[in-house]
Structures are given as C-alpha cells and as structure tokens.
C-alpha cells in the first residue's frame, strides 16, 4: 500500500515539490472532518447503529492516503512507526490492562 501511494504521488504529482507539512496536516484535518460527516450521516447523527457506507469507506481511504503521503514526505518509516506503536500499546495492555496513555 505504501509503495502504491509513493508511486502514485511520483507519477501523478500536482505539486512541483512535496506539499508543505502544514498544508498536509490541514488536509488530513479536512479529510477527518469529511470522514466524521459520513459517520454522522450513516447514523443519522448518532440515532442509528453505524453501518459502513461506500462514502464512509472512500473518506477513510482519503484519510489513509493523506497520512501515508505525510509519512513519505517527512521521511517517516511508516512500517516501523506502526510496529513501534503496536509494541507501545501491547506494553500498556500488559502493564495496565488497557491501551490508554493515562494522560
């Protein structure tokens, strides 16, 4: 998946250079808002059980694409970041029986 996003961005780039980090972060916020909107629509503002819609899945993809692009543009080792966070969560579960940070 990461390689597909990297290849797409390299071949289909609409930017002369990578999007500035600040713009990418605002884009991610915007996409999260659209994902949240699809959740609200699917549940009639929380009055119904959630059932995934095609629009929800597409917005999820937008968020994921934007996050992967941010990682690629900032040099984050995305695979390692996921492995590290899973290890962090597992340690919390082992130590405290939950994943919360306790902050």
3-state secondary structure 16-58: CCCCCHHHHHHHHHHHHHHHHHHHHHHCCCCCCCCCCCHHHHH
- By the 8 A CB rule, do 38 and 53 touch? yes
DSSP 60: H
Instruction: Lowest mean pLDDT of 5-14, 18-27, 89-98, name the range.
Output: 5-14
In the predicted structure, residue 15 carries a pLDDT above the cut 70: no
Enumerate domains of the chain plus CATH numbers. Answer: 2-76 (1.10.287)
**pTM passes above 0.85:** yes
The continuous run of DSSP H or E covering 69 comes out as: helix 54-74
* pLDDT tens-digit series, residues 33-78: 999 999 999 999 999 999 999 999 999 999 999 999 999 999 999 9
Q: What is the pLDDT of residue 37?
A: 98
Q: What is the pLDDT of residue 102?
A: 77
Q: What is the pLDDT of residue 56?
A: 98
Q: What is the pLDDT of residue 23?
A: 93
């Amino acid at each position: 998946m990461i390689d597909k996003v990297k290849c797409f961005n390299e071949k289909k780039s609409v930017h002369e250079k990578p999007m500035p980090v600040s713009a990418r972060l605002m884009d991610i916020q915007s996409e999260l808002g659209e994902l949240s909107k699809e959740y609200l629509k699917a549940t009639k503002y929380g009055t119904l059980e959630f059932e995934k819609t095609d629009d929800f899945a597409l917005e999820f993809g937008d968020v994921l694409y934007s996050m992967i692009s941010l990682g690629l543009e900032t040099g984050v080792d995305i695979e390692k970041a996921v492995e590290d966070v899973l290890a962090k969560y597992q340690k919390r579960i082992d130590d405290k029986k939950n994943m919360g940070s306790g902050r």
